[in-house]
Amino acid sequence: MFKVNKANVWSRSLPALGVALAAITLIAGSLAPMGPAAGQAQAAEADSLPRVTQVLVAPPFLPEHEQVAAVGPRVVQVRLVIEEKSMVIDEDGTVIQAMTFNGSVPGPMIVVHEGDYVEVTLVNPEANAFEHNIDFHAATGALGGAALSHVFPGEEVVIRWKATKAGVFVYHCAPGGSMIPWHVVSGMNGAIMVLPRDGLTDRDGNALRYDRAYYIGEQDFYVPRDEDGRFKSFEDLGDSFADTLDVMRGLIPSHVVFNGSVGALTGDNALTAKVGETVLFIHSQANRDTRPHLIGGHGEYVWETGSFDDPPATDLETWFIRGGSAGAALYTFKQPGLYAYVNHNLIEAIELGAAAHVNVEGEWDDDLMVQVKAPAPIDGADAENW
């Protein structure tokens, strides 16, 4: 198996990876002087703050957190372990060679408050083949931390950055050149929520709170096909690179899914809620535009661009998430039943996989909707009256 390490990363020894590695060399070379080396940072404030470890969980769930910060700023420690692994992404059993943070696509949601410091330990286990790093769109400087977090297999790195902007933001791997889009569309992306210390508010400053929060990470996959049109499987990650890059350059994804695979959030895996509960849906797309829509409900408060410093839009039917960003929408369920939460490019939702379900329990409200007459043969007399 091909393995990138410090000895061969500059040698461009594998022809299929030559172009990409050359690009890494170019970018890495120009970045070397950027950002403080370990120990040089003026981190007096962070050093004096209390520290807390956040236990990350797999999406669509969020780690335990407070909506309003009960105490002052803290250093929030998180651990991200990179897993290169094969994953089944649809009901036909299509297998991809994925790259992940903590084994899930998307990676885990991190939740902090504005003014907190995020201290990330990024681990690239020896069993992996490739170099990785992490770029936080919420962070400032050094390519979002990417320039300070390159790790080869068998290495780990710790970076700390201050969460100065409140909102929901994407993070992703960005090791250089063609490795950047390839790692991102192979699953190496996730999101962080930086809450205002006083929690979310509407445009008038009134508190907005949620009873549940779900993280939906939308992922475009570009799976190559064989001569017969069937999806190809590959022996390992390195083996999949050249063909996958060819499909990527066509810009037409083979799959557009929520949380790693077709059906990851439908059927038995559906999200749940109760009538009267307010649910926060956080939606990220690290690579491509999308347009979430809750069928049968609304985006009552929507931070479409992801910034919590901007007042939320209200009562949207569909909202737009720019590729490379995350957004958040709040809705209080008023009717029980099955809701579909989809990318409202309906071809992507139904044909390619970008759909989730929300099962909502509670009492039906006839005032909001009722079937006045059940389906029955057309009544000729009735029709004449129209």
Could you confirm whether 173 is annotated as catalytic?
Answer: yes
Applying CB under 5 A, among 173, 194, 247, 349 the residue interacting with Cu ion is 173
Q: Which is nearer to Cu ion, 53 or 121 (CB)?
A: 121
Applying CB under 5 A, among 132, 137, 150, 298 the residue interacting with Cu ion is 132
Q: Which is nearer to Cu ion, 188 or 294 (CB)?
A: 188
Q: Which is nearer to Cu ion, 28 or 360 (CB)?
A: 28
Q: Which is nearer to Cu ion, 173 or 360 (CB)?
A: 173
Active-site hit among 113, 172, 298, 357 = 172
Could you confirm whether 298 is annotated as catalytic?
Answer: no
Q: Is 3 one of the binding residues for Cu ion (CB under 5 A)?
A: no
Active-site hit among 132, 255, 283, 357 = 132
Q: How far is the CB of 132 from Cu ion (least distance, A)?
A: 3
Q: Is 180 one of the binding residues for Cu ion (CB under 5 A)?
A: no
Q: How far is the CB of 96 from Cu ion (least distance, A)?
A: 15
Q: How far is the CB of 85 from Cu ion (least distance, A)?
A: 13
Active-site hit among 135, 220, 304, 348 = 135
- Residues 210 to 239 in contact with Cu ion, rule: CB under 5 A: none
Could you confirm whether 172 is annotated as catalytic?
Answer: yes
Q: Is 150 one of the binding residues for Cu ion (CB under 5 A)?
A: no
Residue nearest Cu ion, Cβ-based: 173
x-or-dash pattern for Cu ion, window 245-284, by CB under 5 A? ----------------------------------------
Applying CB under 5 A, among 146, 188, 213, 360 the residue interacting with Cu ion is 188
- Total of chain residues touching Cu ion, rule CB under 5 A: 4
Could you confirm whether 255 is annotated as catalytic?
Answer: no
Could you confirm whether 132 is annotated as catalytic?
Answer: yes
Could you confirm whether 357 is annotated as catalytic?
Answer: no
Tell me the two tokens of residue 8. Answer: 């061969």
Active-site hit among 66, 246, 309, 317 = 317
Could you confirm whether 369 is annotated as catalytic?
Answer: no
Could you confirm whether 344 is annotated as catalytic?
Answer: yes
HEC string for the chain:
CCCCCCCCCCCCCCHHHHHHHHHHHHHHHHHCCCCCCCCCCCCHHHHHCCEEECCCCCCCCCCCCCCCCCCCCCEEEEEEEEEEEEEECCCCCCEEEEEEECCECCCCCEEEECCCEEEEEEEECCCCCCCECCEECCCCCHHHHHHHCCECCCEEEEEEEECCCCEEEEEECCCCCCHHHHHHHCCCEEEEEEECCCCEECCCCCEECCCEEEEEEEEEECCCECCCCCECCCCCHHHHHHHHHHHHHCCCCCEEEECCCCCCCCHHHCEEEECCCEEEEEEEECCCCECEEEECCCEEEEECCCECCCCCEEEECECCECCCEEEEEEEECCCCEEEEEEECCHHHHHHCCCEEEEEEECCCCCCCCCCCCCCCCCCHHHHHHC
Spatial strand order of the sheet with 292-295 comes to 271-274, 355-361, 337-343, 292-295
Could you confirm whether 183 is annotated as catalytic?
Answer: yes
Q: Which is nearer to Cu ion, 118 or 151 (CB)?
A: 151
Q: Is 193 one of the binding residues for Cu ion (CB under 5 A)?
A: no
- 121 beta partners: 79, 158
Burial class for 244, CB neighbours closer than 10 Å (0-12, 13-18, 19+): buried
Applying CB under 5 A, among 183, 255, 283, 288 the residue interacting with Cu ion is 183
Q: Which residues sit at the interface with Cu ion, rule CB under 5 A?
A: 132, 173, 183, 188
Q: Give the active site residues.
A: 132, 135, 137, 172-173, 183, 188, 293, 317-318, 344
